[in-house]
Amino acid sequence: MRSKLLIGLAAAAAIGVGAATYIGSAAAAAPASTFVLLDGSSKTTADLKGKVTLVNFWATSCTTCVAEMPSIVSTYDKYKGRGYETVAVAMSYDPPSYVVNYTETRKLPFKVAIDNTGAVAKAWGEVQLTPTSYLVNKRGEIVKRYVGQPDFAELHQLIEKLLAET
């Protein structure tokens, strides 16, 4: 009886892993969103097509977000000349003055948006945990979602692969 239960659990786990791999490998279109940037301008998801883009949901009060930001900056600096973009989306609960201060004092070189209403986070899958990042390919499809700090070596390999695609 116990061995049948173990075999059943193993089979269920294998099916679950297979389903997760399948679901994880199917690229879904990035949701139609409008990012309101700190300078008052806006960018849409459609504007990002043709570039590999990291959309990073973060907050100034999030210690992991602050810790990963130098790596996000260096990743941007490394690939920006090859068709790579970053959009850092500050969460709705983050005071705009904190976001502006952080962006200016750290000289963030990429686009920074404030999600005042929470609509962008909602559109991207009800994002609540920060940091949450999405890597989007040139066709505007989400290739990978990272909850927490990404493995930057793995992220760089994936960016290289996506930049090489035509």
Per-residue model confidence as pLDDT tens for the chain (166 residues): 444 433 333 333 333 333 333 334 467 999 999 999 999 999 999 999 999 999 999 999 999 999 999 999 999 999 999 999 999 999 999 999 999 999 999 999 999 999 999 999 999 999 999 999 999 999 999 999 999 999 999 999 999 999 999 7
* pLDDT score recorded for residue 12: 38
Which pLDDT value is given to residue 26? 60
Contact 132, 114 (CB under 8 A): no
Which pLDDT does position 27 carry in this prediction?
75
Determine the Cα–Cα distance for residues 99 and 113; give it in Å rounded to an integer.
Answer: 9
d(CA 21, CA 146): 15
- For domain 28-164, give the CATH number: 3.40.30.10
Q: Ramachandran region of residue 3, left (φ > 0), alpha (ψ -120 to 50) or beta?
A: alpha
Residue 60, SS3 per DSSP: coil
Delimit the domains of the chain by residue range: 28-164
| Burial class for 14, CB neighbours closer than 10 Å (0-12, 13-18, 19+) | exposed
**Cβ neighbours of 91 (radius 10 Å):** 24
pTM tops 0.85 = no
Contacts of 29 (CB under 8 A, 6+ apart): 140, 141, 142
Residue 110 sits at φ, ψ, to 5 deg, of -115, 180
